[in-house]
Amino acid sequence: MISNSSHINSITNLYVNKIDKVNLKTKVKQLDMEVSDKIVLSNESQKFAPYLNKLRTLPDARMEKVQNYSKAIESGTYKIDASGVADSILQTCFL
């Protein structure tokens, strides 16, 4: 499960780095190729491309939530459930 933007960034970086390596190899090979040569992406990469493009258009943070938390903190109404935080930490560490 992808739970935050750093996970999303890690995943997209892996995919983009792979594409960059392929593109670099392609550019080198193009020096030796005829103009009629072409590159065809695998079915898996063609299926993944629309999702990657959609992912790139999403904001890094849900600004509405950020604004709500900011207002609650500023007004002093934001309360932290220490027990809930501790439970979440323990579940993450031991699952």
Give residue-wise pLDDT tens across range 18-39. Answer: 666 666 666 666 666 555 667 8
How many angstroms separate the CA atoms of 57 and 67, rounded? 20
Res 20: pLDDT: 63
Name the region of 59 (left: φ>0; alpha: ψ -120 to 50; beta: rest). beta
Confidence of residue 63 (pLDDT cuts 50, 70, 90): confident
How many angstroms separate the CA atoms of 95 and 88, rounded? 10
SS3 86: helix
Residue 90 Cα to chain centre, angstroms: 25
Please say whether the dihedral angle defined by the alpha carbons of residues 46, 48, 49 and 51, taken in this order, is positive or negative.
positive
> Within 10 Å of residue 5's Cβ, how many Cβ atoms?
13
What global pTM score does this model have? 0.34
pLDDT above 90 for 74: yes
What integer is the mean pLDDT of 37-60?
84
Res 93: pLDDT: 85
Res 92: pLDDT: 87
